[in-house]
Structure 1
């Protein structure tokens, strides 16, 4: 029988991966700023088109403000991540996320051993190490 199991993916920080992560964070920041500008532009356009409907304008402003605020929150998170990235030493391990894998199980297998965490460690885009037996991390 096969089961699906979570696997933690980590990355070893190198100059190359640090540069790539920084570029990704900066690119995402740029994209979020563009989205905020676009939202503000669309809001002004819709407000102008519906200048006689005050209730609609109020609802529209609230909706757009929520969307802008979500993006500003993401921007703050990215700024925090950029600051943390600058402080991390080369060789540090960064959690990238989790993936799912299929594990073969049979009668008589030790369930606790099967459910212990598995980690895949990546270095510069190449699998560097596969670790078995860590504690399962919940997301």
Structure 2
């Protein structure tokens, strides 16, 4: 029988991965700023089209304001992550996320051993280490 099991993926921070992460964060910030500008442009266009409907304009402003605020919050989160990245030492392990793997089990297998956590450690895009037997993450 086969089961699906969660596996934690971690990345070892190197100069190359640090640069790549920094570029991803800056690219994300740029994209969010472009989205804010686009939202503001669309809002002004819609307000002009509906200048006689004040109730609709108010609703529109509130809706666009919420969307802009969401993006500003994401920009702040990205700035925080950039700051944290600068503080991290090379060789630090960063949690990338989780993936699912299929594991074959059979009668007589030790269930506790099967359910112990597995980690895949990546270094510069290459599987560096596979760790068995840690605590399972949920």
TM-score range, shorter chain: over 0.9
Aligned position for 1:24: 24
Unmatched segments (≥5 aa) in structure 1? none
**After TM superposition, what 4+ stretches of structure 1 lie above 3 angstroms from structure 2?**
none
Unmatched segments (≥5 aa) in structure 2? none
1:64 equivalent in alignment to 2:64? yes
Aligned position for 1:15: 15
Aligned position for 2:99: 99
14-23 or 104-113, which moves further after superposition? 104-113
1:105 Cα offset (Å): 1.1
Distance 2:63 2:109 in 1: 54
Distance 2:20 2:68 in 1: 27
1:37 equivalent in alignment to 2:37? yes
Distance 2:51 2:33 in 1: 27
RMSD value, Cα: 0.7
1:119 Cα offset (Å): 0.4
Distance 1:71 1:110 in 2: 48
| TM-score (ref. length: structure 1) | 0.97
1:54 Cα offset (Å): 1.2
| TM-score (ref. length: structure 2) | 0.98
Distance 2:106 2:52 in 1: 70
1:125 equivalent in alignment to 2:125? yes
1:7 Cα offset (Å): 0.6
